[in-house]
Structure 1
Amino acid sequence: MTINKQFQISIQTMTDYHLESFIKCPYRFYYQHVLSVNTRKIKWRQAVQFIINQVVHKFYQLTVEEQHKLSALRLIESQWSMINSSIFDSKYHYYQVLAQTTDHLLQLLTAKDTQVPPIFLYEKLSTYIEELETQLSLTLDVTEWSEKSFTIKKFLLEADEEMIHLYNHLIVVFSYKAFGKLPEKIEVVTLLKGETFTYSPTVNDLVQGIMYLKYMKKVLLDPTDYERKSSIKECNSCPFVQECEKSTGDSPELDLLH
């Protein structure tokens, strides 16, 4: 199933946020970023990701002496107090996500092995990529000095293999083009399962990264080729399900049966 539209999209800047949204589901990307369909529905994944970003950001702004478990716990409690539990599937689900993310945040934040402040802390940067003829923009969550160059950490609520590949490619291309150097390590940290995916890029990865982003740009430009992601998890958390069903004539659940 595809979206039948008569126009193509003009891309002046490729952002990590847009690419992440597209990978999760092209239909969702289409309604949110192409048609700019307005929705006030805030789903729990977006809300918890915001909390994660806030906690990590504020924790790294503390002095070295203040960066301990008690400070991290206070930050987590402060941020979670702003969430309405009704956006979760149930009270049990709310407390389950709260317990898991709290436990993993406490472990990961207080286990850091450097006393030096980050080079970048949730900095949104852009650079022009000649091969793509496009600006590439992404947010560097935590960038720290390492022995040979620097390490970039990305904190996500959850990430599948496709999302991890996306961030590895993005960071490799962006780092080389913006800084003239590759990071020693890329770490994608997931807070729902407490997993850390570590990747040490080489110059050979730059070619693959540019090819990957060229492909992403190509498919982004033509909405007639967009396909809905067959994922109950994504559909259940998507505020555009009704619009999606109207355009395809089917429900997301029926799509999974084919």
Structure 2
Amino acid sequence: MENLHAYRLLMNSYLSCPYDLVRSKESLQCAKKISLQNFINNVINGFFSKSCKEHHVLALLKMVDTYRRDLKRSVFDSTMEYTIALATITDHFLQITCDYIEEGNHTYVEHDKGLIINQYNEDQYSVKKLLTEVDEELSLLYAKEVCVELQKSFRCLPDVIELIDMMNGERHLYFPSKDGSDQSDFIYYSRPLVEKEINRICS
């Protein structure tokens, strides 16, 4: 039971910030991604916690201004790098927010995971996640874990999972197979990492 609880905490943490689990050898680079991801999550959670009437660009910019103060400047190589990263992410925030306002869809955020859910009806929904950086391996593993977790909540798979790289604006689309046959790889690849972290948490 203790391990199951630790697993749930770990998976929520992974969906919120995957870089915290898949640590690279470049610890400072990893710390930078984690700090930026926490900033992105806070802005998104803060924005979508507002009423629909307050979903406008000015509200977003206020969120950016509020949470940028929590960014750890020590993980950046220079003030210029910090400024460029903040400006780049803010620019992509504005593009995404403008798209959302124009679409006017029924959208909400799972706050503990930072997943943006757009639900059309009981059986159809899409998922969007804003990530600091996305590479091909992370994209595949992350999307599969989103499927595993959300199927428990919705009892059906999302139509599409969109992962947005906030540093370059690229969008990675993942279309889950309805029979779930493409999700088993996540367990295989992630199990050693998961077990290692669970043992650390429970020790």
The 8 Å contact of residues 64 and 115 in structure 1, kept in 2 or not, is answered as no
When the two chains are superposed, the root-mean-square deviation of aligned CA atoms in Å is 3.0
**Cα distance change on mapping 1:23 and 1:79 into 2, 3 Å:** closer
Normalising by the residue count of structure 1, what TM-score does the alignment of the two structures yield?
Answer: 0.61
In 2, the alpha carbon distance for the partners of 1:48 and 1:218 equals 26
Match of 1:122 in 2: 111
**Cα distance change on mapping 1:62 and 1:211 into 2, 3 Å:** same
In 1, the alpha carbon distance for the partners of 2:81 and 2:66 equals 19
Match of 2:64 in 1: 76
For residues 201-246 of structure 1, the C-alpha deviation after alignment (integer angstroms, 9 at most, x for no partner) is 1224x122124313422565479xxxxxxxxxxxxxxxxxxxxxxx
Q: Which moved more, 1:11-20 or 1:68-77?
A: 11-20
Give 1:200 shift. Answer: 2.1
The 8 Å contact of residues 156 and 188 in structure 1, kept in 2 or not, is answered as yes
Residues 1:49 and 2:37 aligned together: yes
Match of 1:126 in 2: none
In 1, the alpha carbon distance for the partners of 2:31 and 2:191 equals 28
1:188-203 matches, within 5 Å, as 188-203=163-178
Match of 1:142 among 104, 111, 116: 116
In 2, the alpha carbon distance for the partners of 1:73 and 1:18 equals 27
Normalising by the residue count of structure 2, what TM-score does the alignment of the two structures yield?
Answer: 0.76
For residues 87-146 of structure 1, the C-alpha deviation after alignment (integer angstroms, 9 at most, x for no partner) is 31011111111110111111112211234242x4324xxxxxxxxxxxxxxx25211213
1:1-258 matches, within 5 Å, as 12=4, 13=7, 15=11, 17=13, 20=18, 21-25=20-24, 43-83=31-71, 85-112=73-100, 113-118=103-108, 120-123=109-112, 139=113, 141-146=115-120, 149-204=124-179, 206-218=180-192, 221=195
Question: Percent identity among equivalent residues?
Answer: 23
For residues 141-179 of structure 1, the C-alpha deviation after alignment (integer angstroms, 9 at most, x for no partner) is 211213661111111111111111011111222233443
Give 1:198 shift. Answer: 1.8
Name the structure with the higher helix share: 2
For residues 8-37 of structure 1, the C-alpha deviation after alignment (integer angstroms, 9 at most, x for no partner) is xx9641525459345443x799xxxxxxxx
**Cα distance change on mapping 1:84 and 1:217 into 2, 3 Å:** closer
The 8 Å contact of residues 145 and 186 in structure 2, kept in 1 or not, is answered as no
Find the structure with the greater CA-based Rg.
1
In 2, the alpha carbon distance for the partners of 1:161 and 1:68 equals 32
The 8 Å contact of residues 105 and 118 in structure 2, kept in 1 or not, is answered as no
SS at match of 1:108: helix
Give the number of aligned pairs: 184
Segments of 5+ residues of structure 1 without an aligned counterpart are 1-9, 30-41, 124-138, 224-258
After superposing on structure 2, the runs of 4+ consecutive aligned residues of structure 1 that deviate more than 6 Å are none
